[in-house]
Amino acid sequence: MWNDTRLQTDVAPIKQESRAMTGFLKIEQLSKAYSATRPVFADVSFSLERGEFVCIIGHSGCGKTTILNVLAGLDEATSGHVFMDGREVSGPSLERGVVFQGHALMPWLTVRQNIAFAVKSRWPDMPTPKLNVHVEKFVDMVGLSHAIDKKPSQLSGGMKQRVGIARAFSIQPKMLLLDEPFGALDALTRGTIQDELMQIVRETQQTVFMITHDVDEAILLADRILLMNNGADTPDGYKPGGIAEVVRNPLPRSRTRSGLHHLDDYYPLRNHIVDFLVTRATAH
């Protein structure tokens, strides 16, 4: 049975986690404001351990993508700090691979050439034979060896996203940042790529931070799930959004998409997250 006391133990000490700030990735009191009096979110602090998969869920407008862009070095926070592997994040870096909902492939290049372009950005002096072997390894990892010399116009949406994932893994980043990478895919394709991503992450021990609106996707993939609320006007004035709860996934790491609903803790966990999104996702 789901243990609410245990959940609250995992959830409540958000500020304690920020004070200790142990972990491979450390986010300290991050805030973002486009209007000084109405920040989108404020005082966001959390950490990721090396090899951990963390998902963040919240309604549109709460600032999830802004947080990911700050982690990627593509945006700047109004205040606060981000540290990865002991160094402060200050701009884009090949140490952080990013996959967005749009595949962002270069249409004039083949699958092989798209991935090779990224690899050469990371290792410009890599000899061509070694480069080809490296590219082919990651194309095979996402099951696209048969399409390696095709251009994006010849690929389905799911195949394009596979190329994007292969490209991100091919530069061997210290961390992978995923912004709803499967959001535009049909349910069957989405499920297949979820399974493939989970297998690759388990094999590579990749550290992953992912935005999703899909509760089941978060439960399948994540070790922890951050529940984020939106800013709102309250009787005491405007309150910015932030991380409301940190939920640890109690399901076994060997879980599969087809077997999720058979696990004892699945429905209580899912109901808790859905209840948050329906009734508690606005700041109070």
Q: How far apart are CA 235 and CA 84, in angstroms?
A: 38
CATH 3.30.70.270 is held by the domain 4-95+173-280: no
- CB 148 within 8 Å of CB 170: no
CA distance to 52, 111, 157, 168, 277, per residue, from 47 (Å): 10, 35, 33, 22, 22
More confidently predicted of 57 and 8: 57
Does residue 236 come out as left (phi exceeding 0), alpha (psi in the -120 to 50 range) or beta? Answer: alpha
Q: 283 pLDDT band (50/70/90 cuts)?
A: low
240 with 38: CB under 8 angstroms?
Answer: yes
* Cα dist from 62 to 15, 24, 39, 44, 244, whole Å: 19, 25, 10, 12, 11
Cβ distance 85 to 49 under 8 Å?
no
Structure confidence at residue 77 (pLDDT): 94
208 φ, ψ (degrees, to nearest 5): -135, 135
pLDDT (mean) for 171-184: 88
pLDDT at 256: 87
The DSSP secondary structure of 187-235, one letter per residue, reads: HHHHHHHHHHHHHHHHHHT-EEEEE-S-HHHHHHH-SEEEEEEBPEEET
pLDDT attached to residue 284: 64
**Whole-prediction pTM:** 0.87
User: In this prediction, what percent of the chain has a pLDDT beyond 70?
Assistant: 91
* Domain boundary assignment for the chain: 4-95+173-280
Whether the per-residue pLDDT at 250 is higher than 90: the answer is yes
Mean pLDDT of all residues belonging to the chain: 87
Q: Is 62:229 a contact under the CB 8 Å cutoff? A: yes
CA distance linking residue 27 with residue 5, whole number of Å = 26
CA 181 from chain centre, in angstroms, equals: 9
